[in-house]
Structure 1
Amino acid sequence: MDKRQPIAQAVAVKDGRISSVGTVEEILALKDADTKVIDLEGKLMVPGFNDSHMHLLSYGTSLMKANLIGTTSIDHLVDRMKAFMENLNLQQGSWVEGRGWNHDHFHEKKFPTRYDLDKISTEFPIITTRACGHVSVVNSKALELAGLTKNTPQIDGGHFDVDENGQPTGVLREKALNLVSEHIPAPSVQYIKELLMKAADNVITEGITSVQSDDFEAMPGKDFNNVLTAYSELASERKLPLRVYEQCLLSTKERLNSFLEQGFNTGVGDDLFKIGPLKVLADGSLGARTAYLSKPYADDTSTRGICVYSQRELDELVSLAHNAGMHVAIHCIGDKTMYMSFDSFEKVLSKNPRDDHRHSIIHCQITDETLLDKYGDLGVVAHIQPIFIDYDLHIVEDRVGKELAKTSYNWKGMFDRGVNVACGSDCPVETFDVLKGIYCAVTRKDLKGYPENGWLPDQKITVEQAVYGYTLGAAFASFEEDIKGSITPGKLADFTVLSEDIFEICPDTINDVKVLKTIFNGKVVFEV
């Protein structure tokens, strides 16, 4: 990823930094009696992968929940939850959680309800979360503990479903999830640390040495100070096997002000844990039809999705962060949400210009030509998740119509416009396997190889562009391109060794490539 020296044979590392790059002879001439030599036997080494948007703590919590990925019906979900509960030592008041179901994969093609989950238990509160994280379904016991009844008013920026008698069905969308989650006991800092380490130890097996992670509202209680304390302690103990750039989800002005008043801001931290942008969750997901569109959904004209913030509320959050020197990353899947976000960026930049603001949009899915132009015009970073192609190519035309679908997920169009593109996974929504992401980006196919020529094949990007997105492009998004993202003298010694040369093999086989070694801070932290 260093244009001045795109390919080299060897690299020298000292004190966790790259000291020299060159030929085998040049680098071996530097060794002394204390030098450790690692022979990669001709395998490809690239800069350590950087997942530009994920949820490390949420992934850690998912490891402790029932895994509902791959469930094919509501009954299948119920059976899996029952089997999960059999292995738990449940105490009175214990909550039981599951995550990963997708109703599009169910035979019924519909959400489960409280009555389905009541078949699992009416004694213990149960909450099951859709794969996207934007919809949860709870049982009657959970509704009872939350005090959620037919007399509960609907919440701005969210919605809980009701039946023909006005009774809650247990389906919670967007901010309505808070009505129940706030009643789940908050974890200790020590438990958060344990979850983060479990997650990090798994993530490094895919060659990832840096993540940009949204964690503040991953746990009940949503106490960002507990999350910050957990990360800070792990960093000071030098236990983290990867670098974390925190995308700070602070959903109100009050929470953001409290955060800033404590001295936190973009760039605060060290080489292991650093404060990043304000993260704003502005709409939902396409799969759950909560992404906010300019027009009604093509396959459900009763809704345009959920607008989490009014334009005024969004303007105020963006302005507060920008004027405090913090950069902003807004979750935008629907085109209407993206228009609102660009409007906020345009307003704040006209009043308080900043040349290198690096404000960004996360997901960038449903776009038209006007929106694509705005990325370049305003210098907004695009955080994309190529792995989304695996599922979304099967639903996007149904959701938004064929015409709007043609200009959506237009990653080549972004590169052609000179937009800085950063790639990630949105884990645990999707897998953090970077090679699968690169495969989807360059083939435009799902993981089963469909369709034969790729979906919107004119939007395929090159392997080099995809690797850029997971390395130097992601580093740019976090103001860290001077210390990571390429194998360049002076930068951090974070590398990934692959089983095949992905620049030379058939793109259709990239999905099968494995990570052989992950090198972090000059030390091998994972190897096959």
Structure 2
Amino acid sequence: MRRVYYNGKVVTLEGDDCTAFIVEDGQFAKVGNEELLVDINYDEKIDLKGKTVLPAFFETHMHILSLGMLLKDINHNDCDSIQNLIDMSRKYIEDNKVPAGKWVRGRGWNHDKFKDEPRFITRYDLDKITTEHPLCFVRTCGHVIVTNSKGLELIGMSESAPEIEGGQIDLDENGRPLGIFRERARACILDAIPEKETEEIKDLILLAQEEALAHGIVEIHSDDFKDVPTNYQKVIQAYRELIEEGKLKIRVYEQCNLPAVEKIRDFLDHGYHTGWNMGNGLFTLGPLKLLSDGALGARTAYLNEPYSDAPNQRGILQFETEDLKSMVKMCHEAGMQVAIHAIGDGAVDEVMNSIEEAKVNYPRLNERHGIIHCQVTTPEQLDRMKRLNLIAYIQPIFLNYDLKILDDRLGAKRAATAYDWKSFLDKGLHTTGSSDCPVESLDIMENIYAAMTRKDLNGNPAGGWKPEQDLTLEESLRLFTINSAYACFCEDSKGSIKTGKSADFVIINEDIRNTSADEIKNIKIEKTYLAGKKLFDRTV
């Protein structure tokens, strides 16, 4: 089937824009202007009616299963008080007639939004919701879980709790657990929740898939193994079945969360590796994914110096240095790509030390390792990232919340070099864009807005925060297209509108080239195509 698209405003990201293109066999067969229509045979001719066409988007770090759960479970994102959270959660249990004893999950609460008491929720707050159902309520960042007394009873921690390496269980003044589990201590709760069945995993994937397509996203680099922590093969099986059933429409590049040497060894012994794929590339295993620290909002991101608003805290390193080095070394020597979460400057150093040691001791070409987030950095660290040829996986939309806490958490000196994405590009770092959804929305246009304006979604601060770090429209679009394609070794076949590349494109409702940066967040995706096939249509 040969289709001609014409009379459009086509942003190719390959230099010159154009007005027309031909799609055949899932690829852009020709890209150019109206001369394409001369003496050409075609099966269908589609008038774009002046609409703007962009390359379809990548999302290079998010959590498909976690998004699916957010869409099914209690969404606490809009809770502006502890009482609001209590009322909403109690209503959810009543409306859904949840049987006593069954775990109830929620996500999205943020103590900085609470108007009554801006503090973490505790077991005592959650006991006001229910004493018959164990609760698992995840902070918006994903790095803190709070449970109630029923949950503590089920894991045997009603009165006391052990110390957890790479994590923390908060205690009250009498040494009694408050129900707050940070970083690797979260496993105490997550491991107690019955493992999801394959069909449930498939349902969560499909929920997230529809959300992604509505935002023009056709490829997701997703960390899913963490949501089935005892059985990563069940996640792979769920994707396999969706492919066999013809239900997986998007491409998934799995960021393989395997946080222990024995888990990595099992993975490799089964023949898995970066690049292993199913369904002609619909599902591909990508890098080893590890978390080296936590999040700024929860003060668990690991800093080289104490937090400015908590002088006795530097955050949490999730692994001992030698353990992190061992896992990176094992994957690097096995030919795997590595992508590690590091938000604080102390964690960024730890990750670079591990990767550099592996590269020096076992040199190989084109490994494409990277750091996810790298929010708190110095110019010297960026120079070192460039020397190590690392990918920076950034989330511009994080500014929507982080702008409110940066000066408090970091102080003026550290904040002055944080989130310096223009500097990343100026130094030649491979830089990709993502949302870390469900931490933030999948809306790519909001992400592009944040990259270009450095404002929150309410337009603050006027003029933007550190406007010298604003990205251009072209730079912002590339974060979510061609730059992201580099992160999965496919920049030659995807990520821009070019003859011979996969025909992945979106049609939007505004002329983005003539839309002010402040208004870009309001642009909507009208249609989404992968390999020439229309997968989403808002106009129907």
Please tell me whether the aligned partners of residues 12 and 27 of structure 1 are also in contact (alpha carbons under 8 angstroms).
Answer: no
Report whether the alignment pairs 1:78 with 2:66: no
Query: Residue 226 of structure 1 corresponds to which residue in structure 2?
Result: 234
State which of 148, 168, 174 in structure 1 corresponds to 2:183: 174
Structure 1 residue aligned with 2:451, among 441, 450, 454? 441
Alignment of 1:235-384 (within 5 A): 235-269=243-277, 270-384=280-394
The counterpart of 2:57, out of the listed 35, 45, 49, is 49
Identical columns (%)? 44
SS at match of 1:277: strand
1:153 maps to what in 2?
A: 162
Report Cα offsets for 1:220-260 as digits up to 9, x if no partner. Answer: x5411010111122223332121110000000010011111
State whether residues 13 and 497 of structure 2, in contact with CA within 8 Å, keep that contact through their aligned partners in structure 1: no
* Alpha-carbon distance, 1:116 to partner: 0.6
Query: In structure 2, how many angstroms separate the alpha carbons of the residues matched to 1:234 and 1:358?
Result: 29
Kindly indicate whether the alpha-carbon contact (under 8 Å) linking 1:250 and 1:279 is maintained by their aligned counterparts in 2.
Answer: yes
Secondary structure at the counterpart of residue 459 of structure 2 = coil
2:134 aligned residue (122, 125, 130): 125
Pick aligned residue for 1:116 from 122, 125, 129: 125
Large movers: runs of 4+ above 4 Å: 1-5
Per-residue CA deviations over 1:398-436 (Å, capped at 9, x if unaligned) read: 101111111010000000001111000100000010000
CA distance in 2, matches of 1:363, 1:37: 43
Contact 2:13 2:478 in 1 (8 A): no
Which residue does the alignment assign to 2:5?
A: none
Does residue 207 (structure 1) correspond to residue 213 (structure 2)? The answer is no
Aligned to 1:459: 469
Report how far residue 29 of structure 1 moved. Answer: 4.0
Deviations 1:39-67 (A, max 9, x none): 22111111110011111111001111111
Question: 1:148, 1:179 within 8 Å by CA — same for their partners in 2?
Answer: no
Does residue 33 of structure 2 align to residue 23 of structure 1?
yes
1:421-479 CA-to-partner distances (Å, cap 9, x unmatched) read: 10001000000100000000000111111011100111111110010010000000111
Structure 2 distance, partners of 1:460, 1:143, is 46
Shift of 1:322: 0.3
AA of the residue aligned to 2:109: W
Instruction: Give the structure-1-normalised TM-score.
Output: 0.97
CA contact (8 A) 2:14 2:498 kept: no
Shift of 1:278: 0.2
Aligned match of 1:526: 536
User: Structure 1 CA distance, aligned partners of 2:451 and 2:35?
Assistant: 36
| Paired AA for residue 267 in structure 2 | F
For 2:492, the equivalent position in structure 1 comes to 482
Provide the C-alpha distance between the structure 1 equivalents of 2:426 and 2:523, rounded to a whole number of angstroms: 28
> Structure 1 CA distance, aligned partners of 2:39 and 2:92?
57
Q: Would the alpha carbon gap of residues 277 and 434 (structure 1) be closer, same or farther in structure 2, given more than 3 Å must change?
A: same
- In the TM superposition, what whole-angstrom CA distance separates every residue of 1:52-90 from its partner, at most 9, and x where no partner exists? 111111100111111101111111110110111122132
What SS is found at the alignment partner of 2:163? Answer: coil
With normalisation by structure 2, the TM-score equals 0.95
Question: Whole-Å Cα distance in 2 between the matches of residues 426 and 521 of structure 1?
Answer: 25
The structure-2 alpha-carbon separation of the partners of 1:259 and 1:459, relative to structure 1 and needing over 3 Å to count, comes to same
Letter in 2 for 1:191: E
Query: Displacement of 1:133 after TM fit?
Result: 0.5
Q: How far apart, in 2, do the equivalents of 1:315 and 1:206 lie?
A: 37
In structure 2, the residue matched to 1:491 is: 501
Q: Render the CA deviation track for 1:475-515: whole Å, top value 9, x for unaligned.
A: 00111112210111221111111112222321111011111
Contact persistence 2:76–2:107 (CA under 8 A): yes
Change (3 A) 1:317 1:28: farther
Distance 1:508 1:162 in 2: 45
Structure 2 contact 527–536 (Cα < 8 Å) conserved = yes
8 A Cα contact 1:375 1:419, kept in partner: yes
Distance 1:421 1:30 in 2: 39
**Partner of residue 111 from structure 2, selected from 103, 108, 111:** 103
Contact 2:14 2:497 in 1 (8 A): no
Instruction: Note if contact 1:204-1:241 (Cα within 8 Å) is conserved in structure 2.
Output: no
| Alignment gaps of 5+ in structure 1 | none
- Counterpart CA distance in 2 for 1:358 and 1:27 is 41
1:100 corresponds to which letter in structure 2? G
Name the CA distance, whole Å, in 2 between partners of 1:173 and 1:330.
Answer: 18
**Match 1:403 to one of 401, 408, 413:** 413
Which stretches in structure 2 are left out of the alignment for 5+ residues?
1-10
Q: Which residue in 2 is equivalent to 1:427?
A: 437
Structure 2 Cα separation of the partners of residues 222 and 466 of structure 1: 38
Residues 17-38 of structure 1: per-residue CA shift (max 9 Å, x gap)? 2211121331464333xx2322
Tell which deviates more after alignment, 484-493 or 410-419.
Answer: 484-493
Alignment CA distance shift 1:292-1:25 (3 Å): same
Tell whether the 8 Å contact from 1:333 to 1:365 is kept in structure 2 after alignment.
yes
| Structure 1 residues 56 and 29, CA gap change in structure 2 (3 angstroms) | farther
Q: Give the distance between the partners of 1:6 and 1:188, measured in 2 at CA.
A: 49
The answer to whether the Cα contact below 8 Å between 1:21 and 1:27 also exists between their aligned partners in 2 is no
